[in-house]
Amino acid sequence: MKMTPLGTVAFILVVIGALNWGLVGIFNFDLVAFLLGDMSAISRIVYALVGLSGLYMIISAAKKN
């Protein structure tokens, strides 16, 4: 299956978000906050982009079915 560049970026961000939530759930460790600062402007942008990527993936999956 071939993805568009936007789809590829969205997929990568969703995977990053999933791994981060896994770390939070298992180890109580937020990697994004650790790397970028706790609720700094850049970390908030990353969180927002991960959320938007999730929405994009849901919409993309719904269109394919």
User: How many structural domains compose the chain?
Assistant: 1
pLDDT at position 41: 96
* Contact partners, residue 39, CB within 8 Å, separation at least 6: 33
pLDDT at position 60: 92
What confidence tier does 1 reach under pLDDT thresholds 50, 70, 90? Answer: low
Can you give the residue range of the structural domain that contains 45?
A: 5-64
Helix H or strand E encompassing 41: helix 41-64
pLDDT at position 4: 92
Output the pTM of the full model.
0.88
pLDDT at position 2: 82
- 7-62 pLDDT, tens per residue? 999 999 999 999 999 999 999 999 999 999 999 999 999 999 999 999 999 999 99
At position 31, the amino acid (one-letter code) is L
